[in-house]
Amino acid sequence: ETGVTQSPTHLIKTRGQQVTLRCSSQSGHNTVSWYQQALGQGPQFIFQYYREEENGRGNFPPRFSGLQFPNYSSELNVNALELDDSALYLCASSGTYNEQFFGPGTRLTVL
């Protein structure tokens, strides 16, 4: 059984650019959530995908968007990058709805 994987590991972008981050969920898990973790803070919920539909969103603007594919893998897209978007982006998958297993994260730096 493979765990949650994310790519890329690190990414450097400039303000105004767009970025796509990718996640493969743990085998058998059909729910994927995305979190943003700023330095020294706990993860903040961005949104969740269940069976290819977004079914919950945190306090993030529409320039944060996502997709989930039939194999339950997922993408997070961020448009018009701002300096404050610099953070560790975490993907988590769950199958029982109560436990979440996180991937290693993608560290995004916006210059």
Partner 1 sequence: QKEVEQDPGPLSVPEGAIVSLNCTYSNSAFQYFMWYRQYSRKGPELLMYTYSSGNKEDGRFTAQVDKSSKYISLFIRDSQPSDSATYLCAMKRPLNNFNKFYFGSGTKLNVKP
Tokens for 93?
A: 């998958």
Residues in contact with partner 1, counted by CB under 8 A, come to a total of 30
How many degrees, rounded to 5, is the angle at CA 17 between CA 105 and CA 76? 35
Q: Which amino acid type is present at position 9?
A: T
Residue 59 as a binder of partner 1 (CB under 8 A): the answer is no
Q: In the chain, what is the straight-line distance between the N-terminal and C-terminal CA atoms, in Å?
A: 38
Residue 40 as a binder of partner 1 (CB under 8 A): the answer is yes
Single residue of 36, 43, 72, 81 touching partner 1 by CB under 8 A = 43
Measure the CA–CA gap between 20 and 79, rounded to whole angstroms. 9
Measure the CA–CA gap between 32 and 30, rounded to whole angstroms. 7
Single residue of 56, 63, 77, 83 touching partner 1 by CB under 8 A = 56
Binding mask 69-108 for partner 1 (x = CB under 8 A): -------------------x-x-x-x--xxxxxxxxx-x-
Strand order from edge to edge, sheet including 19-24:
5-7, 19-24, 74-78, 64-68
Residue 17 as a binder of partner 1 (CB under 8 A): the answer is no
Interacting residue ranges for partner 1, rule: CB under 8 A: 4, 6, 31, 33, 35, 40-45, 48, 50, 55-56, 58, 88, 90, 92, 94, 97-105, 107
